[in-house]
Amino acid sequence: NAGVTQTPKFRILKIGQSMTLQCTQDMNHNYMYWYRQDPGMGLKLIYYSVGAGITDKGEVPNGYNVSRSTTEDFPLRLELAAPSQTSVYFCASEGLAGGGETQYFGPGTRLLVL
Amino acid sequence: AQSVTQLDSQVPVFEEAPVELRCNYSSSVSVYLFWYVQYPNQGLQLLLKYLSGSTLVESINGFEAEFNKSQTSFHLRKPSVHISDTAEYFCAVLGAGSYQLTFGKGTKLSVIP
């Protein structure tokens, strides 16, 4: 199993551009999450999904959108990039039961918005 | 809602010395508690977790943490650290019935040879 994979690894955007961060897991996990990590701030939850077709907002959803058309994929969309979205983005997945199980993290996408 | 406080942002320690990384939480409901570790330029990996039962939980690489409900703490300890333990450690809490992990701000452990 590859686990959780994320693409791209790095990206530089100009203000106002859009992009999609890809996340795929091959563990048949129902639960998937997007976090952003800023220096000294820990991880903040952006969006999460409890299964295909079901998504919900986390702590910091503004400026982002998600979709979950399949169990495997959970892309994160930035429509109008802003400097405040410069961060490291992590996708994670969690097993069938969720809540208290182990979250498995991808390697991250480093985004710089100029 | 839950919150997590990691009191130390950086902890330097000599190799083979003991270390304690502190974590306190607040919650109005019962909680599950986790410690994750992040090595440089990598994602987070679960180190250990407390769900129920024995309040002392251990990892495979010598770390342990004890859930103390009265002090709302879940401190991480290791009796003798190695250079390879250099990483950032995150404490996290999950409220019962919730799907959202709340992370602390992290503690950077630097092991000095």
Could you read off the pLDDT of B43-77 as tens digits, one per residue?
A: 999 999 998 888 899 998 899 999 999 999 999 99
- Confidence grade of residue A99 (pLDDT, cut at 50, 70, 90): low
- Confidence grade of residue A102 (pLDDT, cut at 50, 70, 90): confident
Among candidate residues A34, A28, A22, A30, the one with its CA nearest the CA of residue A3? A28
pLDDT of residue B41 exceeding 70:
yes
The domains of chain B are located at 3-112
- The torsion defined by the Cα of B77, A93, A34 and A36, in degrees rounded to 10, comes to 30
pLDDT of residue A70 exceeding 80:
yes
Q: What is the mean pLDDT of residues B89-112?
A: 91
pLDDT of residue A15 exceeding 90:
yes
- The torsion defined by the Cα of B108, B22, B96 and A25, in degrees rounded to 10, comes to 20
A84 or A40, which is more confident?
A84
B3-112 CATH fold: Immunoglobulin-like (2.60.40)
Tokens of A62: 């503004």
Domain with residue A57: its CATH number is 2.60.40.10
Q: Phi and psi dihedrals of B101, rounded to 5?
A: -75, 135
- Confidence grade of residue A100 (pLDDT, cut at 50, 70, 90): low
Q: What is the mean pLDDT of residues A57-72?
A: 96
What is chain B's mean pLDDT, rounded?
A: 93
pLDDT of residue B112: 96
pLDDT of residue A31 exceeding 80:
yes
- Of residues B9, B46, B103, nearest to A43 (C-beta): B103
Question: What region does A108 belong to: left with phi over 0, alpha with psi -120 to 50, or beta?
Answer: left
The CA distance from B28 to B30, in Å, is 7
> What's the number of domains chain A is made of?
1
For residue A109, being part of any structural domain is answered with no
Contacts 24+ apart (CB under 8 A), A35-41: A35/A89, A35/A90, A35/A91, A35/A92, A36/A60, A36/A85, A36/A87, A36/A88, A36/A89, A36/A90, A37/A87, A37/A88, A37/A89, A37/A90, A37/A108, A38/A87, A38/A88, A40/B9, A40/B105, A40/B106, A41/B105
pLDDT of residue A98 exceeding 90:
no
| B106 in A contact zone (CB under 8 Å) | yes
For residue A104, being part of any structural domain is answered with no
CB B110 within 8 A of CB A109: no
For residue A114, being part of any structural domain is answered with no
CB B111 within 8 A of CB B98: no
Interface of B with A in 48-77 (CB under 8 A): 49, 51
Single-letter amino acid, residue B40: P
pLDDT of residue A97 exceeding 70:
no
**Residue A29: strand, helix, or coil:** coil
In B, which residues are within 8 Å of A31 by CB distance? 99
pLDDT of residue B31 exceeding 90:
no
- Confidence grade of residue A39 (pLDDT, cut at 50, 70, 90): confident
Domain range for A57 is 4-99
Percent of chain B at pLDDT above 70?
A: 100
Neighbours of A38 (CB within 10 A): 14
Percent of chain A at pLDDT above 90?
A: 84
For residue A108, being part of any structural domain is answered with no
Among candidate residues A38, A41, A33, A113, the one with its CA nearest the CA of residue A76? A33
| A27 in B contact zone (CB under 8 Å) | no
